[in-house]
Amino acid sequence: MAGFIRSLTLILAAVPAFAQSPEYDIWISGGRILDGAGNPWFVGDVGIKGDTIAYVGPSRTATARQFLDARGKMVTPGFIDTHSHGRRGVFEVPSAENQIRQGVTTIIEGPDGSSPLPIGEYLTRFSKVPATTNFGLLVGQGTVRERVIGLKDRKATAEEIKRMREMVRQAMREGAFGLSTGLFYVPGAFTPIEEVIELAKVAGEMGGIYTSHMRDEAAGIADSVKELIRIGEEGHLPAQITHHKVMSGKNWGKSAETLQLVEAARRRGVDISIDQYPYTASSTGLAALVPKWALESGQKSFRERAGAPEQRARMRVDIVRNLKEDRGSGDLKNVVFASCAGDRSLAGKNLRDLTGSDDFEKAAEHVIRLQEQGGCSCIYHAISEADVERIMRYPGTMIASDGGIPVFGEDVPHPRNYGTFARVLGRYVRERNVLSLEDAVRRMTSLPAARFRIPDRGLLRPGMKADVTVFDAGTVIDKSEFAKPHQYAEGFSHVLVNGTPVLVDGKMLPARPGRALFGPGHGNQ
């Protein structure tokens, strides 16, 4: 018996330790590693323990519980979408397959001045979903103003500004990454710049960023950029032009001026950056065509104004102007319905289809009627390819979708929901050489992580959270089209969120490892 025990002891001693305990949980082998910082790729491996990257380096022998083959593929940090409208979709479609299949592992919601409140309550709800992607929030100035003032076109009183500042401060304590405005929308459009600056100061004091859908993206775009720069400068915080674009043919080319303004501001020390989606069409509500004065105080008041002949006639004049000089860019076919609350059959049709002619007055009447019925979501084909590429080349521009998490097959949404990141990698890197692959990945990973102060993501480095995307640079492409948007991007093989595979060999897995992320002011008193 003693001899048997000695023999068994010798056998166990000869068994390598890794047979009992692998070095890593996951080993991604043989890929072309792009670390996210803009450095050239190298062939190597990535080792993951738990939710954390533990090894990034040359290929070597290792033991792991799971091996993922990345030979011939790019291995990058998970992409960060800093302009998302996924707050409702994340509960309806927690898999967020449209995001995962284009390599996105983190989304930031609350842009354009609109966010849930309280922030902490929403993030707690999100944490219980569970969901596949990580999720963070901005606090919306429009939402804060509406809570305090309503949808009124007037200046805030000193007491109201004090209340709004405290609401922003509380949102930052609860985890917001910064303050967003939608100065194009109601009630943001009614907000004087001085009021925005007062709220921006609070976000800045707590380490946050300021992002803005600017007041005017058409004829007045240069003045809007100057306004954003002033808010960043006097608010003492980083400021970001979100979904930077130039609307309407008569304004095309003005991105050269806006980028000069941004660069001049940076030279004198103002911290300005940009995000962009890679399409020549925008998407927002039909209300974008309706004058702001007509929308004051909400839908009931709008209907009352629309019912008054003189005011309705005044609305038509302003809507015709917007159709010709702003988001319509002079052609009724440029306004396409994505979804309409009052008539689902309109999805995919354009305003000329509805009007039956090029009569702008008649089209304006249709806009008023549809807005009376609750409005529509629309796609506006009014952006030039030259402006898209010029903005994209600017070193301070990152990629963001301005999309959400749609229900697959429902309505006719903008393709950016499915294709933004893949389109940059396929069309603008591989096909058009607008960006290098290394730089494109930087704009999707470390740049947004740095701008939004997400310290543990955006780079493939030991100690960082294991959000990882693996794709084929030779085949990656967006498939979503304006006429047929519900098509997933192609070319992504593996995606990991917090060290858990959610896409393997191109197949979605049921895991839901996404986490609520908290901004730099979280927990501060």
Residue 280 in any domain: the answer is no
Tell me the C-alpha distance between 361 and 378, whole Å.
19
Here the tokens at position 420 are 């933004």
Decide if 278 is inside a domain. no
Amino acid making up residue 54:
A
Q: Are residues 372 and 268 in the same domain?
A: no
Residues 100 and 158 in one domain: no
CATH number of the domain residue 475 falls in: 2.30.40.10
Number of domains in the chain: 3
C-beta of residue 498 within 8 angstroms of C-beta of residue 513: yes
Report the alpha-carbon distance of residue 498 to residue 525 in Å, rounded: 29
Which of 479, 463, 452 shows the shortest CA–CA distance to 240?
452
Give the list of residues 6+ apart from residue 395 with CB closer than 8 angstroms, or none: none
Q: How far apart are CA 208 and CA 210, in angstroms?
A: 7
146/186 Cα distance (integer angstroms): 9
* Residue 296, domain member (yes or no): yes
The answer to whether 391 and 274 are in contact (CB under 8 A) is yes
Distance CA 388, CA 400 (A): 13
- Distance CA(45)–CA(50), nearest Å, equals 16
The crossing angle, in degrees rounded to 10, of helices 255-267 and 385-393 is 20
SS3 category, 373: coil
Residue 345: Cβ-neighbour burial (10 angstroms; 0-12, 13-18, 19+): exposed
Tracing tokens 């043989």 back to the chain, one arrives at 30
Q: Please give the structure tokens belonging to residue 510.
A: 């049921």
- pLDDT tens, per residue, the chain with 525 residues: 445 444 444 444 444 444 568 999 999 999 999 999 999 999 999 999 999 999 999 999 999 999 999 999 999 999 999 999 999 999 999 999 999 999 999 999 999 999 999 999 999 999 999 999 999 999 999 999 999 999 999 999 999 999 999 999 999 999 999 999 999 999 999 999 999 999 999 999 999 999 999 999 999 999 999 999 999 999 999 999 999 999 999 999 999 999 999 999 999 999 999 999 999 999 999 999 999 999 999 999 999 999 999 999 999 999 999 999 999 999 999 999 999 988 989 999 999 999 999 999 999 999 999 999 999 999 999 999 999 999 999 999 999 999 999 999 999 999 999 999 999 999 999 999 999 999 999 999 999 999 999 999 999 999 999 999 999 999 999 999 999 999 999 999 999 999 999 999 999 999 999 999 999 999 886
CATH code, domain with 265: 3.20.20.140
Contacts (Cβ under 8 Å, ≥6 apart) of 285: 375, 376, 377, 378
Say yes or no: 366 and 316 in one domain. yes
Closest Cα to residue 459, out of 202, 78, 101?
Answer: 78
| Polymer length of the chain | 525
Domain-embedded: residue 131? no
**Matching residue, tokens 């309409």:** 340
* Domain end residue (candidates: 252, 273, 294): 273
Same domain, yes or no: 231 and 309: no
Question: Are residues 38 and 156 both part of a single domain?
Answer: no
d(CA 266, CA 272): 6
Residue 90 within any structural domain of the chain: yes
Residue 43 is assigned to a structural domain of this protein = yes
> Which residues share a beta bridge with 104?
79
Q: How many CA atoms lie within 13 A of 173 on its CB side?
A: 10
Confidence at residue 19, expressed as pLDDT on a 0 to 100 scale: 52
Q: Measuring CA to CA, which residue among 170, 147, 105 is closest to residue 494?
A: 105
Pairing status of strand 507-508 against strand 500-504: antiparallel
Largest CA distance in the chain: 106
Same domain, 144 and 263: yes
What predicted TM-score, i.e. pTM, was given to this entire model? Answer: 0.94
Query: Are 470 and 28 contacting, i.e. CB atoms less than 8 angstroms apart?
Result: yes
147 and 105 belong to one structural domain: no
Say how far apart CA 410 and CA 445 lie, in whole Å: 30
Assess whether 264 and 291 both reside in one domain. Answer: no
Domain containing 291 equals 286-380
- Alpha carbon distance 25, 48 (integer Å): 6
Same domain membership, residue 295 and residue 263: no
Does residue 17 lie within any of the structural domains?
no
316 shares its domain with 265: no
Question: What is the rounded CA–CA span in Å between residue 517 and residue 522?
Answer: 10
Judge whether 256 and 262 are in contact, CB under 8 Å. Answer: no
pLDDT of residue 342: 84
Alpha-carbon 202 to chain mean position: 23
Do 90 and 170 reside in the same domain of the chain? no
| Res 341: pLDDT | 86
DSSP letter string over 19-70?
Answer: GTS-SEEEEEEEEEE--SSSPPPEEEEEEEETTEEEEEES-----EEEEEE-
The confidence score (pLDDT) of residue 523 equals 85
What is the structure's pLDDT at 364?
98
Residues 374 and 424 both lie in one domain: no
Q: What is the pLDDT of residue 218?
A: 97
Q: Count each helix (H run) and each strand (E run) in the chain, helices first.
A: 18, 21
Per DSSP, the three-state class of 158 is helix
Is there a domain that residue 482 lies in? yes
Contact in structure between 26 and 499 (CB atoms under 8 Å) = yes
Cα torsion for 86, 90, 94, 96, to the nearest 10°? Answer: 0
